[in-house]
Amino acid sequence: MRRRVVITGIGLVTPLGVGTTASWAALCRGRSGVGPITRFDASGFDTRIAAEVRGFKAADFLPRKLAARAEPFVAFACAAARMALDDAGLSIGNPGSERIAVVAGCAMGGLSLLETNCRTVSQRGPRWVSPFFVPMMISNMAAGIVAMDIGVRGPNLTFSTACAAGTHAVGEAARMIRAGQVDAAIAGGTEAVVAPTCIAGFAAMRALSTCNEAPEQASRPFDRKRDGFVVGEGAGFLILERLDQALARGARIYAEVAGYGSSCDAHHLTQPPPDADGAIRCMRAALADAGLGPGDIDYINAHGTGTPLNDALETLAIKSVFGERAHAIPVSASKSMTGHLIGAAGGVEAAFCALAIRNATIPPTINLEHPDPACDLDYVPHAARQATITTAMSNSFGFGGTNATLVLQAWRD
């Protein structure tokens, strides 16, 4: 028997604000979280902007010693997970904690810590490297420390599938609950890579925007003058539960995880195929998993990075899946405001879809000033739109040709 899976809690740490309420309000206002880089001196870089989390204090969420030691990607994850748990009102009991999973997406882990310790080895020698270096750097440590911090003893998994990692984490967690392996999961993504090597590496690929003089306008998905994405950071975690358990404890339900699809392009290190085949198959798989058709989707949260190739091919994929109806479906790109949160993007954007369903509000795509003939869908430009959303889709496509799509529905008895 396939168990129904619902979202009962949301926790967000984003460049738009610390907390779900702050992040959602800024998103709906169309406020950009992009600004000059403050994490390091970027004056010699071609790209000097990023979407940083501001006003975050790890000590507000973590024990003192852990707060001092934890890398930002770990601290963001712990904060978002605790917020989601509090939002859901889910108590972690013993016994019972072994029936709750932690499933995280994280692409790069503690990149800044790696940079620091590489400098230490070269400048001072190996004896000066911290014993906490490896444990605090590896990408699965976010999920591990979330579990330790909260006291969850079920499966503990991390997906490192580039920009699709957070979506894979939510989708695979839902699968585990459906299959009866666990009763609930803390699932989402986290990332904190506003670091010199990350910015330099993406810039060397010509993947980043260089709109340094107007940071708030730099991330412009689907716009004809888009020139690349903006690196962001943060975390988004959801509480997923069996529907019957959520109902039994009187939980508030944001949405139901109705479908999940994944695919591989098997085409290129960084570029999708020119026919967008992988994205098309991924979206169709998610629809099939949900038992829905192209006529059932009311809103799409696009991967929408702001790179010339991605936006045109995602548009092509949406047209291929939805046919003539594609032009009637509102599509928006929250990365126009948050920047690209890499491994955290899917968790944050799944949360935005759930909030869009619950609040009957479609977030906008900002900075869409110059129509692109290759991108001719309804991208909800400039301002949020009030609309009843029964079913929403969220897309994530990553380097290595890895793709993931979620379908969320308003919960109905």
Residues marked as catalytic: 163, 303, 340
**Residue 352 in tokens:** 């935005």
Contact 401, 264 (CB under 8 A): yes
**Residue 399 · residue 254 · CB < 8 Å:** no
Residue with token string 């032009």: 327
- Spatial separation of the C-alpha atoms in residues 78 and 66, rounded to whole Å: 10
Q: 99 and 92 in contact (C-beta within 8 Å)?
A: no
Other beta carbons within 10 Å of 359: 15
Backbone angles phi, psi at 283, to 5 degrees: -65, -40
**CA 278 – CA 149 distance, rounded (Å):** 38
Q: How far apart are the first and last CA of the chain?
A: 17
SS3 content of the chain, % helix, strand, coil (to 5): 40, 20, 40
DSSP letters, 298-317, are -EEE----S-HHHHHHHHHH
What are the angstrom distances between the C-alpha of 303 and each of 26, 186, 271, 336, 397?
A: 19, 23, 14, 10, 7
For residue 144, give both structure tokens: 């591990």
